Structures are given as structure tokens and as C-alpha cells.
Amino acid sequence: MKPVITVRDLTRQFGTFTAVDHISFEVHPGEIFGFLGANGAGKTTAMKMLIGILRPSSGEASVAGFDVYREAEHIKQHIGYMSQRFSLYEDLTVMENIRFYAGIYGLPITSIRKEAKALLDRLELTHEANTLVKALPLGWKQKLAFSLAIIHKPAIVFLDEPTGGVDPITRRRFWEMITETARTGMTVFVTTHYMDEAEYCDRVSIMVDGRIEALDHPKKLREQFGAQSMDEVFRILARGAVRSE
């Protein structure tokens, strides 16, 4: 199958500083791809280029079939994005958030009502349709935020530290939802600082000093580095970092 993301020698410089240094990888349909790295390793810069909001200095990348240089606007329309900090509007109701996201992602007006009803049913939120999002328990908020990030059925969804600060059960339920979604064929590109979550990925890449220093299935990485856990793999790699943010 054709990769959803293809990256070749992608590079970004800020002045003389090379934030992302010739990274290359592919992500396949339905894959959960973990994108790890220490603070300052270049993860955020790389991700910004992939979601079409930062122009690369050199190299090639295509996301969901679109070129990051020429078709950045198309990329934005064909991907989902959810971060820990910005996802839902707390002062809007559940229904208003649904309508807002459905509109932003260009769903036809005629189908928004139907989609909204189906979504509320699926999340068992029908009785909360007119509740302000800020009054919802965290677990529900997360499910809603994720469902809205993919309401336009994108080929790929980017999750930027989606579970930071979340309680341990909600965090795990969220990952169960990610796994289910990936099984429907949607690709999930995710960053996290929780190393246990790296184990739930099909493949994991670890960035050090702007480069991808390791990329494989978590189990293979553990074997490769003779480590007991992904935490240990991460530490072995990050210890070699020259760049301290």
C-alpha cells in the first residue's frame, strides 16, 4: 500500500541552527507511529512541517498525498490534529463544538446535523449536547476532542502529546480509542513523553539533535539496545545528545 507520509531528507534551518537535519521515513496506512525525542530534539519543528504550517528549508515530504511545499493548504484539510493544549472550546457547548469543527473541516451543512447525532450517540453524549464543554469530565472531553479531530475522516491524525497531565485511567482509555481507530485504517502520528505509551505504537522513531537515530517496532528497539523498556532505550539515545536545547 502507498505510504500516508513519505519524508526524504527533510531539513529545516533557523539561521545557522539546523533544527531538523535530513530526516527520512515513511508511515503506512493504519499504522500508529510514535514520534519521540527529548525537548529540543526537533520534534515540534518536524511536525509543523508535516502539517503544513512551516516551510522546510530542503528535502521532500508528502502527507496524505500532498506535497508540503506546494499543497500545504490541502494537507491542512486532509489531516486531523489534536494537541493537549488546544482542542475544544470550553465556553461552547458540546453541540456548538461539533458544529464548529464540522464547519471548519468543510462538512456539508446538510450532513452536519446527521453526523452530530451519530457522534453524540456513539459517545453516549446525547443528553449532554447542550452542556458547556468545561463542565464535562476530562475523559469525555478527550473522547470528544479526538472524535472532532477526525470528524472529516482524514487519512491521518496528528496527536501532539494528547495525554499530558491526564489521569492514568483516562490516559489508557484514550489509547484504547486510538488503537480502535487505527484498526479502521486511519493512520495515527503521535508524540508523547510517557514511555509506556511508546509500547502501544506499531513503530517508534526517536529524534536526537535533529536526526532520527532509531526507528522500529518497540520490541525490536528494546532488543537492539539491549534494554528492558522503551524508557531505557530513550535514555541510551538521548544521553548521546550534544544539543541541550
**Considering the complex, what minimum distance in angstroms separates the CB of residue 121 from other proteins?**
21
Chosen residue from 25, 33, 81, 234 binding other proteins by CB under 8 A? 234
Sheet order of strands, 66-67 included: 17-27, 5-14, 58-63, 66-67
Q: Which of residues 121-140 bind other proteins (CB under 8 A)?
A: 135, 138
Q: 93 Cβ partners below 8 Å, 6+ apart?
A: 129, 130, 131, 132, 133
Q: Interface with other proteins by CB under 8 A: which range of 33-41, 67-75, 106-114, 120-128?
A: 33-41
Using an 8 Å Cβ cutoff, are 190 and 20 in contact? Answer: no
Sheet order of strands, 203-208 included: 79-83, 156-160, 187-191, 32-37, 203-208, 211-216
Q: Interface with other proteins by CB under 8 A: which range of 8-16, 71-79, 108-116, 167-175?
A: 167-175
Q: What is the DSSP string of 52-109?
A: TSS--SEEEEEETTEETTT-HHHHHHHEEEEESSSSS-TTSBHHHHHHHHHHHTT--H
Site string for other proteins, 55-94 (x = CB under 8 A): ----------------------------------------
How many whole angstroms separate alpha carbon 69 and alpha carbon 76? 12
How many whole angstroms separate alpha carbon 207 and alpha carbon 209? 7
Of 106 and 245, CB closest to other proteins: 245
Chosen residue from 37, 42, 59, 154 binding other proteins by CB under 8 A? 37
Of 110 and 245, CB closest to other proteins: 245
**Considering the complex, what minimum distance in angstroms separates the CB of residue 175 from other proteins?**
7
Q: Does residue 170 bind other proteins (CB under 8 A)?
A: yes
Binding site for other proteins (CB under 8 A): 37-41, 135, 138, 161, 164-170, 172, 175-176, 179-180, 193-196, 198-200, 218-219, 229-231, 234-235, 238-239, 241, 244-245
